[in-house]
Structure 1
Amino acid sequence: MGFGLVVRFEAHDVASARAFDELAEDALAGIRALEPGTLVYVNHAVPDEPNVRVFYELYADRAAFEEHERQPHVRRFLAEREQYLASFEVTFLDEVAGKGVPDSAVEQ
């Protein structure tokens, strides 16, 4: 079963939100290239809340998430994001049922 999380970030201001987006894009380059167990990793803007970003992340399993957290590009993102943020909230998710990434895409 998949393992996921949703994170709501609130930046200090619009300029901080844009800088946060650039930092996230840098991390995403490494995620795309080096993390087959990271199935979905998306940064969403929130309409009418220009300082807010919501990440949706889906991993093949908990081990894939833990491997993601050990990656240098993720460690850099985690260390540098604080300067742009007023707050953030993480919600971890365990899959119950649904439609999503086919099993063949989960193979590593």
Structure 2
Amino acid sequence: MRFSLKDDECARQFDVLAEETTQEVRAERGALVHAVHAPAGQPLLRVLYELYVNRAAFDTHEEQAHNRYFVEAREQYLAGTSAVFLVE
């Protein structure tokens, strides 16, 4: 998922939120990868990579309180988003 951030302060706050969330997601059963990347030269862009063992693990992840909080809290920092889902 791509996150376009409003400004430098929003980017900083988003990074804190994303790091907190990543720590919790990595402890989830079935989560293989959860990483946020800041592409070089694009200070207001973040890319989230997520990989789960199967669709059921992803669906369980979506229901977690920390994920629901991330989805809600991130909105204040965002100028836009786009997502690509790769499924079997």
Higher Cα Rg: structure 1 or 2?
1
Instruction: State the shift of 1:88 in Å.
Output: 0.4
Separation in 1, partners of 2:31, 2:26: 8
> How do residues 50-65 of structure 1 correspond to structure 2 at under 5 angstroms?
50-65=43-58
Question: Which runs of 5 or more structure 2 residues have no equivalent in the other structure?
Answer: none
Work out the number of aligned pairs and report it: 88
**What letter is aligned with 1:76?**
Y
SS of equivalent residue, structure 2 residue 29:
coil
2:7 to 13, 19, 36: 13
Q: Percentage identity across aligned positions?
A: 50
Match of 1:49 in 2: 42
Please report how far the alpha carbon of residue 18 of structure 1 lies from its aligned counterpart in structure 2 after TM superposition: 1.1
TM-score by length of 1: 0.78
Q: Distance in 2 between matches of 1:57 and 1:41?
A: 5
Distance 1:26 1:63 in 2: 23
Query: How much does 1:15 deviate?
Result: 1.1
Whose strand fraction is larger, Structure 1's or Structure 2's? 1
Q: What's the C-alpha RMSD, in Å, of the aligned pairs?
A: 1.0
Partner in structure 1 of residue 80 of structure 2: 87
Match of 2:67 in 1: 74
TM-score by length of 2: 0.94
Structure 1 spans left out of the alignment, 5+ residues: 1-6, 96-108
